[in-house]
Amino acid sequence: MAKIKGAEEYPIYFGAKPQGLRLAGDLRHTMTKAEKVLWKQLRNKKMDGFRFRRQHPVDEFIVDFFCYETNLVIELDVEVHLDAAQIERDVERTRILNCHGLKIIRFKNEEVENLMNDVIIQIKKELIESKRSD
């Protein structure tokens, strides 16, 4: 586990506060079915050798999956993300994450559960593009 006290000193957290690190740890134990399914594909550098972190604190947010090497964030959306107010919050969240130099890709839970091959292809494409832009 990462050092919680003084976490803002670690660039991988983009200024996340200690309470964000604690919340992220709690969220790792309550992942959705889709998050668990995708995590099986991402963990242990299974995605072309890229290392992903799950439920990772970034600034004031907890992102679902994060690859520090390419600054790629993967977010999974449930039905609540179709609500107009939530869409507005997601747009602002994406704007803030983009300000940190992060690229965000989103998938619906149904895509992960039913179209995993397409999801993997898209993630690999984004990883390659993100790596090239270094």
CATH number of 32-128: 3.40.960.10
d(CA 79, CA 109): 9
| Pairing assessment for the beta strands 103-108 and 61-67 based on DSSP bridges | unpaired
Give pLDDT tens digits for 20-56.
Answer: 888 888 888 889 999 999 999 999 999 999 999 999 9
Domain map of the chain by residue range? 32-128
Q: Residue holding tokens 């602002």? A: 92
In sequence order, which residues have a C-beta less than 8 Å from that of residue 103 and are 6 or more positions away? Answer: 70, 71, 72, 73, 126, 130
pTM here is 0.84
pLDDT of residue 10: 65
